[in-house]
Structure 1
Amino acid sequence: MAGRRMGPPDATVRFELLDATERVLARDGYPAVTSRNVGKEAGVDQKLVFYYFRTMEDLVVATFHRRSEDFLGRLRAAAASAAPLREIWSLISDRSGRLTIEFMAMATRNAALKNEVREYNRAANAIIEEGLARRPLPTGADPALAPPAFVNFVIASVARNLLVEEEMGLTPPPDEMRILIEAWIDRLAP
């Protein structure tokens, strides 16, 4: 099928399929991401999915890639701000929890997506750690106790856990938890 004709990468329908994939994934979970469901969500015949993407795996990877490229741009701006820790936290803790959970679940079974997630994670970590290296520390704080890689790991882990717990309804009142986390961040980066 190498010679199969493919739709143009800048076609409106292609972008509608990417948007539809995100909506199906967020609403119904990764098992529902089928050509039939995506086509129906986009309002097109399911055959068009394969005109624009060789496989469903290609569609999912393209959907994640588009979303991650946009996020990396916003992450660069946050890391370059006057308060990188606060801005990075605000950005990573406010993402669509359901979509993040679904992409991660899919990546465990999809090698191409797993590689895309890995590459995104490397790029995001580099941006975050560069921004955190510039952050002011509290007076008298030992920088060895909160190196950028460690702070990145902690805030990313807390953000992911908070998103999962909110999605599952496991967290005490989320606003209460966020206030405590942000008070902790204020102590790390006055």
Structure 2
Amino acid sequence: MVTKRATKAHDTGTRLRLMEATAQIIREEGYAAATSRRVAAVAGVKSALVYYYFPTMDDLFIAVLRAGAEKALDRMRQALTADDPLQVLWDINTDARFTQLNTEFMALANHRKAVGVELKAFAERVRDIETAAVTLVLRSCGVDLDRYPPVVVSMLLTGASRILCNEGAVGMRQGHAELRAFVQDLMGRYRPAVVSPGVGTAPVRDPAQ
């Protein structure tokens, strides 16, 4: 007889295969190609099993989004303890594997409200982490946080990186080398400063200088 543990493991394995197949299809062919039949074919299971594990396609899309979101958030949290938080955030946001799937989910959210709600929650958590990391850097460098709000700096940094990915996906390269060089130079000016005990804080600096 098949044990309950074996059955549960099989169910978990099948569910995971369906999620992985969905992510693969979205990444390689776009969200519109991720139909129940296509997902089942890539996962190597009968199409009826898609709705056995996921009552609706929205449920499947949200499961894939949540799984990817947790991995992305774990990676982003590393920026909070990294020696160079800004570089970590830049590397993550210029990674096509991260941005490509996210871009497809953004497009999907325009057609599926439930996915949009989930994506908004994820985006807010991402911004919180990015802002916290930038705050640590700017404060360490003595930057006036009222004049240069960390949330704005983080949006400019990540926005620039996503422009590179989105344009690069269609072969657009004009200005990319210059933008990368500019960002690298700017980040180099604001590496986290290590303040020795009793020395005090760094003098206030102007990012525009």
TM-score bin (small chain): 0.7 to 0.9
Distance in 2 (CA, whole Å) between partners of 1:175 and 1:43 is: 43
Residue 124 of structure 1: aligned partner: 126
Residue 137 of structure 2: aligned partner: 135
Counting matched residue pairs gives 184
Residue 29 of structure 1: aligned partner: 30
**TM-score computed with the length of structure 2 as normaliser:** 0.79
- CA deviation vs aligned residue, 1:43-98 (integer Å, no higher than 9, x gap): 11111111110101110111011000111011111122222111111112214233
* More displaced 10-residue stretch of structure 1: 92-101 or 35-44: 92-101
Q: Which has the larger radius of gyration?
A: 2
Distance in 2 (CA, whole Å) between partners of 1:8 and 1:161 is: 43
Residue 4 of structure 1: aligned partner: none
Residue 20 of structure 1: aligned partner: 21
- CA deviation vs aligned residue, 1:12-50 (integer Å, no higher than 9, x gap): 011111110011101111110100110111111111111
State the 4+ residue runs in structure 1 displaced beyond 3 angstroms. 7-10, 136-145, 173-177
Percent of pairs with identical residues? 30
SS of equivalent residue, structure 1 residue 135: helix
Displacement of 1:187 in angstroms is 2.7
Task: Give runs of aligned pairs for residues 16-165 of structure 1, distance below 5 A.
Answer: 16-96=17-97, 97-136=99-138, 141-165=143-167
- CA deviation vs aligned residue, 1:96-155 (integer Å, no higher than 9, x gap): 233222111001111111111111111111112122211156967544343210111111
**TM-score computed with the length of structure 1 as normaliser:** 0.86
* More displaced 10-residue stretch of structure 1: 58-67 or 128-137: 128-137
Name structure 2 gaps, 5 residues minimum: 1-6, 193-209
Q: CA RMSD in A?
A: 2.3
Distance in 1 (CA, whole Å) between partners of 2:83 and 2:65 is: 29
1:75–1:91 Cα contact (<8 Å) kept = yes
Name structure 1 gaps, 5 residues minimum: 1-6
